[in-house]
Amino acid sequence: MKRKFNQEKNNKNIINFSMLRKMATTKRLKDILKYHIEFETIPSVRAAWIEYFFEIKNRKIQL
């Protein structure tokens, strides 16, 4: 039972790149995804880029 819980906890940290690709509808978002998010190896830096990605995406939706 404990192992299943740990697997579920770890699955929350998985990034769905195919979903991000679908959301990247502008050149700017595609570049952020391609050059920063996909190849970043430091988790905290990748998280910051993902946060920035969603901030830009959210601004586009609100306009």
Instruction: Tell me the DSSP string of 12-55.
Output: TT---HHHHHHH--SHHHHHHIIIIITT--SHHHHHHHHHHHHH
Distance CA 54, CA 27 (A): 14
> Could you tell me the pLDDT band of residue 13, with boundaries at 50, 70 and 90?
low
pLDDT at 62: 67
Q: Is the pTM of this model over 0.85?
A: no
20 contacts 33 by C-beta, under 8 angstroms: yes
pLDDT at 5: 44
Q: What is the pLDDT of residues 18-61, one digit of tens each?
A: 999 999 999 999 999 999 999 999 999 999 999 999 999 998 77
Distance CA 24, CA 43 (A): 20
Residue type, 10: N
pLDDT at 11: 52
Residue type, 20: L
